[in-house]
C-alpha cells in the first residue's frame, strides 16, 4: 500500500492488479464479479484495519498465560446501498462483532447528485470507527453524504473504502473531509459526461446483482 498523500492510500499489490483485470472485463459473469469484489475488498480491508486501536488482554494457551491484544471499541461497516453490500462479507469474516449500518443513496441521473432514501442510524451512541463501503468513488456525492451523516452521528474516525476511484471524487473528499482517509485499489483516469468512471467497469451495483436488463 502506497500513499499519494497522507489522505489517499492506493493499493499496490499483484493480486489486486490480477483481480481488477477480471473485475473490469465485460465478459465476467455476475457470480465471478461478486467473487472478485470480495477478494479485492479483503485486500483493502487488511490495509484499512492495520492500525485499529487495540488494548492488552490476558490469553491462556495450553502452556501458559500471556498478554495479547484485542480491538478497542465498536466498529461499524457502513455500506452505501446497494453496491456497497458486495463489500460487507470480508469485514464480517475478519471482525465478527462488527456492526453493519446501511445508508441508502441513489444518484439522480440528471444532476449526478445523491438522493437519500434510507437511513436508520440510531440517535446518539455512535461507533468508535466507521468504514464507508462503496465499490466506486466517482463524483464523491454519495460518499460525502454518507460521511456527513456519520459525522453528525458523532463518529470520531471515518475511513472511505472503494475498489475503484476517480480523481474527481478523491478531490471532493480531500477538500471537504481532509480527516477522512481514502483506501482504494486503483485511481482511474476520469469521469465521462455521464459521470461514469473511465475505464472503470460500468455499473457495479447492476453487475453485482445481475440487474443489467
Per-residue pLDDT tens digits for 150-167: 999 999 999 999 999 999
The single residue of 89, 107, 119, 128 carrying the catalytic annotation is: 107
Using 50, 70 and 90 to split pLDDT, how confident is the model at 112? Answer: low
* pLDDT surpasses 80 at 2: no
β-pairing, 8-10 with 182-187?
Answer: parallel
The catalytic position among 54, 92, 111, 175 is 111
Q: Assess whether pLDDT exceeds 50 at residue 59.
A: yes
Which stretch of 48-62, 105-119, 183-197 has the lowest confidence by average pLDDT?
105-119
Listed residue (174, 180, 175) closest to 149, CA to CA:
180
Give the chain's mean pLDDT: 92
* Of residues 106, 89, 86, 109, the one with CA closest to residue 98: 89
Q: State the residue range of the domain holding 129.
A: 2-209
Cis peptide before 82 (omega within 30 of 0): yes
| Residue 131, C-alpha cell as written in the block | 468504514
Q: Count up the domains in the chain and report the number.
A: 1
CA 84 – CA 173 distance, rounded (Å): 18
Specify whether 206 is catalytic.
yes
- State yes or no: is 4 an active-site residue: no
CATH number of the domain where residue 114 is located? 3.40.50.2020
Burial class of residue 206 (count of CB atoms within 10 Å of its CB; 0-12, 13-18, 19+): middle
Residue 109 pLDDT grade (very low, low, confident, very high; cuts 50, 70, 90): low
Active site residue 107: yes
Backbone phi and psi for residue 147, each to the nearest 5 degrees, phi listed first: -65, -45
Amino acid at each position: 500500500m502506497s500513499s499519494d498523500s497522507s489522505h489517499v492510500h492506493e493499493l499496490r499489490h499483484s493480486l489486486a492488479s490480477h483481480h481488477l483485470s477480471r473485475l473490469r472485463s465485460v465478459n465476467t459473469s455476475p457470480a465471478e464479479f461478486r467473487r472478485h469484489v470480495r477478494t479485492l475488498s479483503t485486500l483493502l480491508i487488511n490495509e484499512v484495519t492495520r492500525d485499529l486501536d487495540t488494548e492488552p488482554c490476558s490469553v491462556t494457551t495450553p502452556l501458559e498465560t500471556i498478554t495479547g491484544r484485542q480491538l478497542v471499541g465498536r466498529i461499524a461497516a457502513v455500506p452505501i446501498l446497494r453496491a456497497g453490500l458486495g463489500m460487507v462479507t470480508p469485514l464480517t469474516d475478519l471482525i465478527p462483532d462488527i456492526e453493519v449500518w446501511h445508508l441508502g443513496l441513489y444518484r439522480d441521473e440528471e444532476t449526478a447528485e445523491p438522493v437519500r432514501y434510507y437511513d436508520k442510524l440510531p440517535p446518539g451512541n455512535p461507533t468508535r470507527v466507521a468504514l464507508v463501503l462503496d465499490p466506486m468513488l466517482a463524483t464523491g456525492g454519495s460518499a460525502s453524504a454518507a460521511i456527513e451523516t456519520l459525522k453528525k452521528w458523532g463518529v470520531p474516525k471515518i475511513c472511505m473504502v472503494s475498489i475503484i476511484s476517480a480523481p474527481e471524487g478523491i478531490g471532493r473528499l480531500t477538500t471537504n473531509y481532509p480527516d477522512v482517509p481514502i483506501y482504494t485499489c486503483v485511481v482511474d483516469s476520469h469521469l465521462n459526461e455521464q459521470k461514469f468512471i473511465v475505464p472503470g467497469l460500468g455499473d457495479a451495483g447492476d453487475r453485482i446483482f445481475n440487474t443489467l436488463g
